[in-house]
Chain A
Amino acid sequence: DGGITQSPKYLFRKEGQNVTLSCEQNLNHDAMYWYRQDPGQGLRLIYYSQIVNDFQKGDIAEGYSVSREKKESFPLTVTSAQKNPTAFYLCASRTGTSVYEQYFGPGTRLTVT
């Protein structure tokens, strides 16, 4: 089945550690996105990538980094510089021919203590 995979579903880290969240898609989509979700704040865009080896900062990129070395993969690293990393992280993708609609993965809940 085609879709977007995010792993793991739950992730726990100690403060001061970097952590990388995985996002893989087998939909052959060109664009990929990372969002952060906090209660009552909707989804906020962290980074996005329209093509391989290129990505742009979203609205809340500070403390995060990404890479796009392969079309199907868009990992997100939450660095120790991110002040409030505990959140639900969602990855999405979009085909180059769609009217901007995005398809979402199941999410990763990160807890940093």
Chain B
Amino acid sequence: AQSVTQLGSHVSVSEGALVLLRCNYSSSVPPYLFWYVQYPNQGLQLLLKYTTGATLVKGINGFEAEFKKSETSFHLTKPSAHMSDAAEYFCAVSEWETSGSRLTFGEGTQLTVNP
């Protein structure tokens, strides 16, 4: 079964600083990878996804992520943090079973942006 590890349950940055949220996965097959964002008491919103092709993926709100197969990583970055980026971020990997597809999520990283 696939698994996802997000390094750092809490990350704090200053407004305008680089945001780097780390995600490593394990998968026995080429993975499809996702980053979701969750604001307090809300559902998850898809930020970006990697399926095939270009390994640098751009998403919404200025975020991007790079798929590195050799490192089994899919880290999320944003050059300049904004106060509105404060939220919880989840990395996920897809998994296909005979009963259908499912996502396996990491435990999440809470991003705090300081003024």
Interface residues of A (CB under 8 A from B): 4, 6, 31, 33, 40-43, 45, 48, 50, 56, 58, 88, 90, 92, 94, 99-107, 109
Residue pairs across A and B with CB atoms within 8 Å: the count is 58
19 examples of A-B residue contacts, CB within 8 angstroms = A6-B43, A31-B100, A33-B102, A42-B90, A48-B100, A56-B100, A90-B43, A92-B43, A99-B49, A99-B94, A101-B49, A102-B103, A103-B46, A104-B43, A104-B44, A104-B45, A107-B41, A107-B43, A109-B41
Of the candidates B36, B42, B94, B107, which one forms a contact with A107 in the assembled complex, judged by CB atoms under 8 Å apart? B42
Which B residues have a C-beta under 8 Å from some C-beta of A?
9, 32, 34, 36, 41-46, 49, 51, 90, 94, 96, 99-103, 105-108
A107 nearest CB across to chain B (Å): 5
In the bound complex, CA of A109 to CA of B99 (Å): 28
Binding site secondary structure of chain A: strand
**Which of B9, B41, B43, B90 has the most CB atoms of chain A within a 10 A radius of its CB?**
B43
